[in-house]
Amino acid sequence: MSKLTYDIPYLINLDTFFHNYDRNIQKVDKRLDEYVKDPNEENIHDIRTAIRRLDASYQSSPKQIQKKKIKEYVAKSRHLFKLNSEIRDFDIIIEKLYNEGQIPEQQFEQFNKSLKKNKHRKLLKALSIAIDLKKLNVPNLNNGDSNNRNDHDKLQKKLVTRYNRIIVNFASNIEMNLPIIVNNSEKIEELHEVRKDSKKLRYLLELGLDNKDKKNENENIDKNKEIKENNHINSHNVSGSIKTLEKIQDMLGNIHDYDITIAYLKQNDKHMHTVAEKNISMIRENRYKQFVQYCKSDLL
C-alpha cells in the first residue's frame, strides 16, 4: 500500500490551510449561483464537489474556528449534498438502463417516467435548500481571529494534530477494507466505504498543498522554516497519493453506479426485468475485475 502512504506527521501550514479553506467556501457560493440558475448534471456535479471540499476543510479545522455561522453553513450544505446525490443516482440509473439494460422501449419508458418523477420531487426540495443556503451570509474565517503570534502557533499545532488524526483514520479504513473488496466482489458496503473514504482523503490531502502565488514568501521565514521544508519534502508523496486515490475513486465510482442500478432493478422488478439485471451485472463484473487487476499490480 506504499502509494497511499507518506511521511506522517504532515506539517500543514496554517496560512495555506486558511487560504484553501476560504477558497472552498467561495467555491460553494459560486457554484450555488450556477446551480440555482440551472440545476443540470454538470452543475449538480460541481456543487457536490465544492461541498465535499468545504466539508473536508471543516472536518479538519481546529474547533476554535468552527463557529456558529460556519457550522450552520456546512450543515445546510451537507443537506444539499445528500439531496443532489440522490438526484444524481436517478440520472445514473436512467442512463444505465437506456444504454446497457437492453430492455424493450416500452419497459424502459415505465422506468424512465417513474425515475424522472422522483427526481423532480427531490430537485424541488434541493432547490429550496439551495436558496436558503444562498440567504446565509458567506462565512468569514478571519484567519481564526488569531493575530497574536503565540495564538497563531498554538492554532498551528492544533491544526497539525487534528489534520493528521483524520488522515490516519481515513487511510487506515481504506487499507483495512481494500483487501476485503479485492477478494470478494459481493462486499458492496465495504466497496462503497472505500470509495467515499478515498474521496474524502484526497480532498484532505489537497488542503495541504500550497497553490497560491508566494507573494510573501520571505515573511516569518525563520518561524515557518520547518513547516515549509517538511511540506516540500512531502509534496511529491502527497501528489502521488492524490493521483492514486483519484484512480481508486473513479474506478469504484463506476462500479457503484452499476450497484445502485442493480439495486433499483431488484427493488422495483421481481421477475420482469431479469435480462436487464443480468446485462448490467455482467458489465459490473468486468469493471470489478479491472479494479482488482489494478489493485494487485499497483497497490497490494
215 pLDDT above the threshold of 50:
no
Q: Are 4 and 245 in contact (CB under 8 A)?
A: yes
Q: Is the peptide bond before 179 cis (omega within 30 degrees of 0)?
A: no
Whether 259 has a pLDDT exceeding 90, the answer reads yes
Of the chain, the percentage scoring pLDDT greater than 70 comes to 84
**pLDDT given at position 12:** 87
CA nearest 130: which of 86, 89, 90, 78?
A: 78
Work out whether the CA dihedral 267, 88, 198, 70 comes out positive or negative: negative
| CB distance 209 to 24 below 8 Å | no
pLDDT > 90 in the chain, percent: 67
Enumerate domains of the chain plus CATH numbers. Answer: 2-211+218-298 (1.40.20)
Alpha helices in the chain (DSSP H): 14-37, 41-60, 68-100, 105-135, 149-183, 188-207, 225-268, 274-298
| This prediction's pTM | 0.86
Is 238's pLDDT higher than 50?
Answer: yes
Q: How high is the pLDDT of residue 240?
A: 85
Q: What is the spatial distance between Cα 216 and Cα 200, in angstroms, rounded to a whole number?
A: 30
pLDDT at position 216 over 80: no
Contact 155, 144 (CB under 8 A): yes
- Tens digits of residue pLDDT in 25-79: 999 999 999 999 999 999 999 999 999 999 999 999 988 787 888 999 999 999 9
Q: Which residues contact 36 (CB under 8 A, 6 or more apart)?
A: 127, 130, 131, 134
